Every structure is written in C-alpha cells, then in structure tokens.
Structure 1
Amino acid sequence: MVALGNGTPVLIYLKTRHNQDGETVEYEKEFQGQIFQMGSSLYLRYNEETDEQSTVTFKVFENGNVQLTRKNEDLRMQLFFGDNRRISATYRTPYGDIPIETVTPDLTVRLSEAPLAGKINIDYLLYSGGQLLGEYKIRLHFTT
C-alpha cells in the first residue's frame, strides 16, 4: 500500500439504502475526505452535514473487515462488519448506551494504488434487543 502520511485528499461518492418497517430510504452524496494509513489499517474519513455535522470514519482492517464510526457532539455509533456472524456494537446517546448488533451477509473491499482508489460495498442487518431494526446497503467509492 502506498504511504499516506498525514492523509491524502480523496473524493468520496456514497450511496446508502435501508429498508426499515417496510419503508425504503435511499441517500446519495459526494464528499471531500481524507484517506490515511495507520499500521496495517486504512482509514477513510469525511464530514457529513445533515441536521448536525458528523465525522464518519471507515476503518479497513488488513483482513478485509470494516469498522464504521459515526460521531457528532451528542452521539457515537460504531458498527463492525465481518464474516456473516452477529457482531456486537454500541450506539452511545446522551441518554445512555444502546447495544446493537450487525450481521454482514456481503462485504467487498477493493483497493487500487495507481491511481489510489477503492470501493467498499457492505450489506448488513442491524439488530437491537434481538429485534431486526433494518436491512442496509452501503456503496462507497473513492478516488484521489
């Protein structure tokens, strides 16, 4: 992997889709972000402005698993995506922590060095208290 030092600017194209309670919501947006490497993991970070500004970080581990962290002033959600088994996570709110779990039936990470670019596709199920909250799809593409 190319040495990324303090971060390399990237253009990020994000498309998400989730089905929850019979309703499908799609979201599509481009962001300016940064990619950097720490140890054997690759980090992709951008700021997302919705009602509040959130910092979103995708951490790609050497084994291809992915950790997604979304945080703002009041909330912090950390999800783990791996090998189609239930993985515990936490959704931290001002009212306390909510235990959540992900199951990842499909995870694909493709990276290239010249030019530095990549694709991360994640299909996952989100659970809380044993109940299915929704089915989610993330399609992220980035390039320098």
Structure 2
Amino acid sequence: MDQTQGIPVQIHLETFVTQEGETEQNIFDEPGTVVQLGDALYIRYQETNDETGESMPVTLKIKSSDDVSLSRGSSEGDTQLKLHFVNERRIVTRYRTPYGIIPVETATPRIDMQLRDNPLGGEVYIEYQLFANNDLVGNYRLRLIFNA
C-alpha cells in the first residue's frame, strides 16, 4: 500500500489532563490521513471543538517507537503548539500565541506504540508532564487509535 499519497483513516483520540488536582477527559473521533515520508509516519486530522465548531489542524509525527512530535495549529495561524516526546527525556519546545512565543518543556515517562501495515492502523499512548518557566502546568495522557 502506497502511504506517500496519504491513506484515509479514522482517528479516535482520548486525552486526560490533570491540573491542580482536577482531571478533564476529552474524546475526539475524526477522519484523518496517514502519510509515510522517509522513515517518519505522519498522522494528520482536524480536531473539531464541539462547542464552537472551530477546527484546528493536528499532526502527529512518529519517528520511532520512542520519539513522537505533536503539532496543533498551523504555521500561518495565531497559535501553534509544538510538543516533542522522547521516552524518559525532557525536551524544550515552543507554544506560539498571539502574545508571543512561550517556551514549554515536556517530560515523557512513557510512550507505548503498536503499528500495523495490513490493515493499516495502530495505537499511540503517551504520558507526559508539561512545564512552563520550570513550573508544572499539568500531567497529561494521550491515546490515539487510527484505522484505515
């Protein structure tokens, strides 16, 4: 199957955000595409806010079983969040807002991944902590399942 042209997939995403002792869960079911470019797998979709109806482009780039990047927003928009997850490492990245760029840092204690070719699909699970100015913003869990 030629994955360089983009294979349509169905995305199921669950996020859990724990901040100040409160946990919030979000679930998204969206159509998306998977593209293989070089040694990286790109999972792309539009995340739709049920309350506002606005959508935000999201790209998950899988370089290896313990190296994943997440981008929310477009390079042309006011806001773009880029996060980089490497198993058992802390990585500084950035969050572009209308008010300027804020450096943020991810600490990733766990990445689990299962990918398959036929039929195309898989699951990516990431646990991470987000820091801004060396202060813990929150604890996060992300579970993305995709199937062609």
Range of TM-score over shorter length: over 0.9
Q: Where in structure 2 are the equivalents of 1:39-54 lying within 5 Å?
A: 39-50=38-49, 51=52, 52-54=54-56
- Per the TM alignment, residue 83 of structure 1 is displaced from its structure 2 partner at its CA by 2.3
CA distance in 2, matches of 1:6, 1:79: 25
More off after superposition, 120-129 vs 46-55: 46-55
Q: Deviations over 1:44-73 (max 9, x none)?
A: 000012243210000000353100000053
Residue 26 of structure 2 corresponds to: 27
Q: Where in structure 2 are the equivalents of 1:125-140 lying within 5 Å?
A: 125-140=129-144
CA distance in 2, matches of 1:87, 1:58: 16
- Matched-pair contact (CA < 8 Å) for 2:65–2:112: no
Residue 76 of structure 1 corresponds to: 80
CA distance in 2, matches of 1:91, 1:99: 6
CA distance in 2, matches of 1:64, 1:128: 23
TM-score, normalized by length of structure 1? 0.95
Runs of 4+ with deviation above 3 angstroms: none
Percent of aligned positions that are identical = 39
Residue 101 of structure 1 corresponds to: 105
CA distance in 1, matches of 2:64, 2:19: 32
Point out where structure 2 has 5 or more consecutive residues left out of the alignment: none
Residue 124 of structure 2 corresponds to: 120
- Per the TM alignment, residue 113 of structure 1 is displaced from its structure 2 partner at its CA by 0.9
The count of residues paired between Structure 1 and Structure 2 equals 143
The CA RMSD measured in Å over matched residues stands at 1.2
Q: Deviations over 1:120-140 (max 9, x none)?
A: 000000000010000000011
CA distance in 1, matches of 2:21, 2:137: 11
Residue 69 of structure 2 corresponds to: 67
Q: Which amino acid aligns with 1:58?
A: L
More off after superposition, 90-99 vs 70-79: 70-79
